[in-house]
Amino acid sequence: MSPGPSAPSCTRGGVPPPLRVTFLGTAGSWPTKDRSASAIAVDLERELVLLDCGEGTQRQFFQSSEPLDIYGPPDAEEMVGRALSMGYFTLRFPVTVHPMQPGESVDLDGYSVRTSLAAHPVPSVAYRIEEAPRRGKFDAAKARSLGIRGPDFGKLEAGTPVHVGASIVHPADVMGAPRPGRSLVYSGDTGPSDDVRRLAHRATVLIHEATVAQDIEAEANEWGHSSARQAAELARSAEAKALFLTHFSSRYKELEPLESEARVIFPGSRAARDLLDELVHYP
């Protein structure tokens, strides 16, 4: 997982902009003619996060001088170090590696990242990206009943106490309870996993691998992968709001059978395609 700078955006009427998820590649173990290597970009407004930076995804990095932070499994530092030692070149930007143990979390700029162990033969973790809680809803009727008028509405909504005669009205007097931010969970490579299910509990978006169809899922599970059916079962059990399938085996030229298999269990399941661009709004 690699965070980097993103273009600034603004809010409209106090509503934050949508979270943008772009599937840069949806292939399984290797790219195909129709699918690039697995990679997902998540635009969090303040930063751009890349999940699974498959071959070719990093090409644009060489046009940047911005620092690059890489968050990964416990052996991430060793893996990145080996990759950087394989050629004769000079990086134009600093790279900092942050190994994360399963279950560990880190607070970043306006969001947090939490990990869980994935069910895979090699060290692998799943990630949950979660925005910081939002302010509660502004109760305009209550504000009026307390004597708030004109520009003082805006001051209270912005978090500034205001005077009403001899009294002071505080934002907490007219604001509801904080509301949870949006959350996105990415399974990475994994077979069916209770750890991933717990990580995905009530996630706004779950992106789960679906390497194969259910007819060969037993074989896939032995290699640490899931079927579309199993991904849908996990999404339903976790009470996720939306499910996107990815990481498809090259044996599947068409994805409708996998999508249909998942929709039997989790209606609305979608098989991601390369360059699918999805906006995730606040509920």
110, pLDDT greater than 80: yes
* Listed residue (131, 259, 274) closest to 204, CA to CA: 131
Strands (E), the chain: 2-5, 19-25, 39-43, 47-51, 68-72, 95-99, 105-107, 111-117, 125-131, 162-164, 167-169, 183-186, 205-209, 243-246, 270-271, 277-280
pTM: 0.85
Interval 153-205: pLDDT, tens: 888 888 899 999 889 999 889 988 888 899 999 999 999 999 999 999 999 99
Q: Report the distance separating Cα 122 and Cα 161, nearest Å.
A: 54
Strand partners, 25: 39
pLDDT band per the 50, 70, 90 thresholds, residue 7:
very low
Average the pLDDT over each of 45-54, 115-124, 228-237 and give the range with the smallest value: 45-54
Give the pLDDT confidence score for residue 10 in this predicted structure: 38
**Per the CATH hierarchy, to which homologous superfamily does domain 2-134+179-280 belong?**
Ribonuclease Z/Hydroxyacylglutathione hydrolase-like (3.60.15.10)
Interval 32-88: pLDDT, tens: 999 999 999 999 888 889 998 877 777 766 677 888 899 999 999 998 888 888 877
Where are the CATH 3.60.15.10 domain residues in the chain? 2-134+179-280
Interval 93-102: pLDDT, tens: 888 999 999 9
Give the pLDDT confidence score for residue 255 in this predicted structure: 96
* Listed residue (69, 54, 56, 207) closest to 126, CA to CA: 207
Q: Report the distance separating Cα 42 and Cα 9, nearest Å.
A: 14
275: left (phi > 0), else alpha (psi -120 to 50), else beta? left
Around Cβ 247, how many Cβ atoms within 10 Å?
A: 26
